[in-house]
């Protein structure tokens, strides 16, 4: 048996995987996020550990024999968070999370201190990354910064509790802006730019390697053997890719959740920071991956459902599906930037827009425009990946949006790729963590990480793709014309508040 532990933002999820790869059990315990100020997002690392232990108690009560047979544990988790420990390994402050936006100014300051930042890290400096968070602490909480002896990522804090070892792995470390992503090693220049050194950093291993053994007292408390290996693991998206079976160059997936992520495995570092493409190490040796990220995806559908007074998303979608073809080409355009945008614009001031409304515009037409606009935003991200030398012909679709066959087909038509869905994709990062545990236990990758069985495969409609290509050009032109207005509006609002 193998155990995967996935530390998300809203839940700690545990998954038991049998030796043959089948899922034996899952459980989870909810987490809460603290937002003490605007743009702040924090969690108490102690909550992560308490939730993990509570989930283990649930598994032990229902699957005690299986838990006792676990040979290795794999870890996955939310990326970019900053856990600060003092010289006695005590937590100094709540962890600053990936979706915390307080460090905009520090991003610009980091680039001034180290102009080679995009070249070294393969990425732009954004508030979501870890290094700007530490730059903020250094400036605004100097006493805490001075006492900081170690910096750990969220899942690596759990590892420290499990093993007593301070270790990270390549995929998660790549999201800190302290890693030389091409060399898969800490960058002394980037650490120095933040006032840190290698002494503050955990040891690095590959995600499929052992990072240590479960502490004997934890093994006894959890009802597990004392020689359990703890694998390096992976950041949440890299672990999800391993769980799906996206392990070879060219493999990829599209996550259509609250945000939208397009993930493609590469054989080397393929950076395109100018278009806000993320270039990270994969959780497997000798591989990297690219990600384009849009900040609002399925959340746009939730928004239009509320805005139009529909009973539910499920009730609204059939209205869209009943629209005739001519109504689709006459539908408004929608810019899906309800929370700004990352790839390819890196524009925090971008806003959501409907363009082309008329007296005859129906609720169904508005909703179609939203589905299409999200697909167009993902196409912009895919084009940014292609500009860096990466292309795909098939993408696995995961997340809540994958439940809509209509939206899945629209994505295939817009992106001009085959879209496949999987029954087991909801296991995601926790399954990937369990698979990485099996690899750390000596199992063979080809046997442990097969592609998930395909539930549905949808190929692109070439005729529809041509029509959508014309609308996509108008979509892009609309953003270009409005971008100066977005910036002016944000500036004016700030002046009024001042």
**Each residue of 60-82: pLDDT tens digit?**
999 999 999 999 999 999 999 99
Q: Which pLDDT band, with edges at 50, 70 and 90, does 51 fall under?
A: very high
Mean pLDDT score, 200-216: 98
- Going by pLDDT thresholds of 50, 70 and 90, the confidence category of residue 496 is very low
CA 72 to chain centre: 24
Report the number of secondary-structure helices (H) and strands (E) in the chain: 18, 24
- Between helix 313-321 and helix 363-387 the angle, nearest 10°, is 90
Q: Classify each residue of 259-273 as buried b or exposed e, where b means 16 or more C-beta atoms within 10 Å of its C-beta.
A: bbbbbbbbeebbbbb
187 burial level (CB within 10 Å; 0-12, 13-18, 19+)? buried
- Alpha-carbon gap, residue 343 to 340, rounded angstroms: 10
Residue pLDDT, tens place only, 344-366 = 998 888 999 999 999 999 999 99
pLDDT of amino acid 492? 40
Residue 425's pLDDT is: 61
Kindly give, in sequence order, each residue whose CB lies less than 8 Å from that of residue 434, ignoring residues fewer than 6 positions away.
2, 3, 4, 15, 16, 17, 74
Confidence of residue 413 (pLDDT cuts 50, 70, 90): very high
Calpha distance 466→470 (Å, rounded): 7
What's the pLDDT tens digit per position in 8-39?
A: 988 999 999 999 999 999 999 999 999 999 88
Tell me the pLDDT of the chain averaged across its residues: 93
Sequence-distant (≥ 6) Cβ neighbours of residue 323 within 8 angstroms: 331, 364, 365, 368
Per-residue model confidence (pLDDT) at position 128:
87
Determine which of 156-170, 271-285, 323-337 has the lowest per-residue pLDDT on average: 271-285
pLDDT tier, 498 (very low <50, low <70, confident <90, very high otherwise): very low
Q: What is the pLDDT of residue 491?
A: 43
Q: Which residues are annotated as a binding site for substrate?
A: 79-80
Q: Which of 85-89, 134-138, 240-244 has the lowest average pLDDT?
A: 240-244
* DSSP for 40-75, written as a single string: --EE-HHHHHHHHHHHHHHHHHHHHHHHHT--EEEE
Q: Which of 272, 242, 270, 116 is nearest to 182 (CA)?
A: 270
CB 310 within 8 A of CB 316: yes
The domain over range 246-498 is classified in CATH as 3.30.420.40: yes
Rounded to an integer, what distance in angstroms lies between the CA atom of residue 239 and that of residue 235?
Answer: 6
Given this model, what pLDDT does residue 76 score?
97
C-alpha closest to that of 250 among 235, 267, 238, 237: 267
Is residue 121 pLDDT above 80, yes or no?
yes
Quote the DSSP letter at residue 384: H
Residue 495 binned pLDDT confidence (cut-offs 50, 70, 90): very low
Q: What is the pLDDT of residue 346?
A: 85
Tell me the sheet residues that pair with 186.
179
CA dist., res. 465 & res. 473, Å (int): 12
Quick one: pLDDT band at residue 490, thresholds 50, 70, 90?
A: very low
The closest of 21, 425, 53 to 246, measured between CA atoms, is 425
Residue 119 in this model has a pLDDT that exceeds 80: yes
Half-sphere exposure of 259 (CA within 13 A, CB side): 16
Distance CA 378, CA 292 (A): 8
- 370-403: pLDDT as tens digits: 999 999 999 999 999 988 888 888 999 988 777 8
Fold of 2-232: Nucleotidyltransferase; domain 5 (3.30.420)
pLDDT above 60: residue 493: no
Instruction: Tell me how far apart the alpha carbons of residues 50 and 54 are, in angstroms, rounded to a whole number.
Output: 6
Residues 139-180 have pLDDT tens digits of 999 999 999 999 999 999 999 999 999 999 999 999 999 999
Q: Residues spanned by CATH 3.30.420.40 within the chain?
A: 2-232, 246-498
The answer to pTM > 0.75 is yes
User: What pLDDT does residue 129 have?
Assistant: 94
Residues with a catalytic annotation lie at 236
Band (488; pLDDT cuts 50, 70, 90) = low
CA distance 60 to 64: 4
207 pLDDT above the threshold of 70: yes
């Amino acid at each position: 048996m193998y155990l995967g532990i996935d530390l998300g933002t809203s839940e700690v999820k545990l998954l038991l995987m049998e030796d043959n790869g089948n899922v034996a059990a899952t459980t989870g315990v909810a987490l809460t996020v603290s937002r003490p100020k605007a743009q702040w997002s924090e969690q108490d690392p102690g909550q992560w550990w308490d939730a993990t232990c509570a989930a283990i108690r649930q598994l032990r009560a229902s699957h005690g024999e299986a838990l006792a047979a676990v040979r290795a544990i794999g870890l996955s988790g939310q990326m970019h968070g900053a856990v600060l420990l003092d010289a006695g390994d005590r937590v100094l402050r709540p962890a600053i999370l990936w979706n915390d936006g307080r460090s905009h100014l520090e991003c610009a300051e980091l680039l001034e201190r180290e102009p080679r930042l995009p070249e070294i890290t393969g990425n732009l400096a954004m508030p979501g990354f870890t290094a700007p968070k530490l730059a903020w602490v250094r400036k605004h909480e100097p006493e805490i910064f001075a006492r900081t002896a170690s910096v750990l990522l969220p899942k690596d804090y759990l590892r420290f509790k499990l093993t007593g070892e301070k270790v990270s792995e390549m995929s998660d470390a790549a999201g800190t802006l302290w890693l030389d992503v091409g060399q898969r090693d800490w960058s002394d220049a980037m650490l120095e730019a933040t006032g840190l050194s290698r002494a503050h950093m955990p040891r690095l291993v590959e995600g499929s390697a052992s990072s240590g053994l479960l502490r004997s007292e934890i093994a006894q408390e959890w009802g597990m053997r004392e020689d359990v290996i703890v694998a390096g693991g992976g950041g949440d998206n890299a672990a999800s890719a391993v769980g799906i079976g996206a392990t070879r160059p060219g493999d990829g997936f599209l996550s259509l959740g609250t945000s939208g992520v397009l993930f493609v495995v590469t054989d080397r570092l393929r950076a395109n920071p100018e278009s806000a493409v993320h270039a990270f190490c994969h959780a497997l040796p000798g591989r990297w991956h690219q990600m384009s990220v849009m900040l609002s995806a399925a959340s746009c559908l939730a928004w239009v459902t509320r805005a139009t007074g529909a009973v539910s998303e499920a009730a609204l979608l059939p209205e869209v599906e009943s629209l005739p073809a001519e109504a689709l080409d006459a539908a408004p355009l929608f810019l899906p930037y309800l929370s700004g945008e990352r790839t390819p614009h890196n524009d925090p001031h971008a806003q959501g827009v409907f363009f082309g409304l008329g007296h005859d515009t129906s609720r169904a037409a508005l909703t179609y425009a939203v589905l299409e606009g999200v697909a167009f935003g993902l196409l912009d991200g895919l084009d940014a990946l292609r500009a860096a030398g990466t292309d795909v012909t098939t993408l696995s679709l995961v997340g809540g949006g994958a439940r809509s066959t209509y939206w899945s087909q629209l994505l295939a038509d817009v992106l001009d790729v085959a879209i496949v869905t999987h029954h087991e994709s909801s296991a995601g990062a926790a399954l990937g963590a369990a698979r990485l545990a099996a690899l750390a236990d000596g199992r063979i990758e080809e046997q442990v990480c097969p592609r998930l069985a395909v539930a549905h495969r949808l190929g692109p409609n070439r005729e529809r793709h041509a029509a959508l290509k014309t609308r996509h050009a108008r979509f892009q032109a609309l953003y270009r014309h409005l971008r100066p207005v977005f910036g002016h509006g944000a500036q004016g609002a700030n002046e009024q508040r001042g």
